[in-house]
Structure 1
């Protein structure tokens, strides 16, 4: 499925404690590993201090999914709000969400859930997709606060686009992909309920027209780019 969009990667430095992060780090292809502890994580890179004292700066993309999940979990620990001074319990807004468990549940629904280099999520509804599956997945998707992009299968319809508007409370959600799908110009207009939508990819969606895309630009003030053809994108 096509859908590769440009988005800005925030460069946020998370200083992490030494000692507690000692582990075996594995490469993405599983062919190599190194023993060491995480010193810090900067944007899309993690610094690892090895047992022999070396410091390695390794791109997250070169690490296994398990290691990337570990880094993201450590970052969250450093950004969790303070506990209530009187009760000692976490404040309501600090409620923890087990995103690994959410991803596992989505995968049971034939949804691939990938972690981007900036810590945001991409969810891809795959071949077993049926209209109505987005609605079924909404309770899980709403808990992925860093959800950035959703890719729908080619069987997707306007009903599925309308269901996506239930995710309007997710501030990072700005990219919808429905390549070769059954969506129409009217379905694009449904997406006006998404306050941060920037990109739509409908390459191969035969029911989408250029006038319909222009209407979407008029209805969605945040929309920047719509891909209708493989070699071209329509800008505002």
Structure 2
């Protein structure tokens, strides 16, 4: 199991993650982040937060006085390291996991930013439709969902499934998510030549405003068509 691997190698993996900065890892979409961080009220969800590098950066950079950041990590050993790293920052750690995120859904909250970095490949193809539906339901109407895709073999006992942008785009269409941006293939920041990355940024599709007379006309038209 991948969670067991992350718990068993938490110290080594944490040092690896913290050897690279947020800006290095997420440079392809930083220009979308700045307007989010400047909002008066801000809620952020990092799913697969690891040892806290990304939530630490986001909490330090957030300009809002009303900032809520939730770090979701199923590997307890990594999460404990993240809790130490972010102990003086507005970060709440929760042990939870996709595809359902039951504890997060139970918060009955939506988010301005949802980050899924180096997680998607751990979900099997059968889990992905529910996972993306869960994430889209947690995103507010002006929020951003950022998903990184890892291409390349697993170097160890961690279970990693093949991923593709086409598959993710098809699932996103089913979840009423619109592609806002996508990166070209990114080289691995840790220098692994067999690994490369893509980052896709989604936002909810705009729902057109329909007046009551227009809605009635649509309903009547469908009725006559039947």
| TM-score range normalised by the length of the shorter chain | 0.3 to 0.5
TM-score, normalised with respect to structure 2? 0.36
Structure possessing the higher radius of gyration over alpha carbons: 1
TM-score, normalised with respect to structure 1? 0.35
The one of the two structures with greater contact order (alpha-carbon pairs below 8 A, sep at least 6) is: 2
